[in-house]
Amino acid sequence: LQKVKNDLEMVLLTVRSKNKKLEEDLKREQQWCEEQEEMLDTLNKTEEEIKTQPSTKRGLDELKNKIMKLKTYRKELLSALGEFLDEHFPLPEKDENTKNKNSSAEPAVELITMQEILEMLINKLMTTPHEPYITINESFWPPYIELLLRCGMVLRHPEDAKRLRLEAFHK
């Protein structure tokens, strides 16, 4: 009986140690399973994000289309402005200048159109907003400059009357 008791105690100890080992293995397996589930969740979230990206691509395509429409609209506006300026603000004819001044020694200066003046002013304001002034010379027809000044579209430089800038209407 004693021997059976000792054998059973040994078996009991062996079973307990196996149980402990199995419990530890179970805990490790459960931990590994939890890590795998977290990884799966992360992968699922990433997959959902990837699935939603085509909608952002669609949104990007829509923005590109809007930008293209705005560019074409801008071109149309600029062309309409050019047509308006050509029709209503033509350059003076050379014959009129000669009759008014009665001078044959007139310098042959090519005058700049109103459209070119406005383009120069706009481009200067957009490219160098910190220094938006352009310098006027003989090629700028004085009545155009006077008209722009009186309408409040351009301002003179406070120190140099030969420099103009477009009034910053966007501010």
Tokens coding 115: 């459209």
Q: Judging by DSSP bridges, how do beta strands 154-156 and 163-166 pair with one another?
A: antiparallel
Average pLDDT over residues 38-43: 94
Helix (H, G, I), strand (E, B) or coil at 112: strand
pLDDT digits (tens, 9 = 90+) for 25-37: 999 999 999 999 9
The partner residues of 79 in beta bridges, in order of sequence, read: none
* Entry pTM: 0.54
Alpha-carbon distance of 94 to 117, in angstroms, equals 19
- The share of the chain scoring above pLDDT 70, in percent, equals 88
Give, for 2, the enclosing helix (H) or strand (E).
helix 2-88
pLDDT digits (tens, 9 = 90+) for 114-171: 999 998 998 898 889 899 999 999 999 999 999 999 999 999 999 999 999 998 776 6
Burial environment of residue 144 by CB neighbours within 10 A (0 to 12, 13 to 18, 19 or more): buried
Q: Report pLDDT for 2.
A: 93
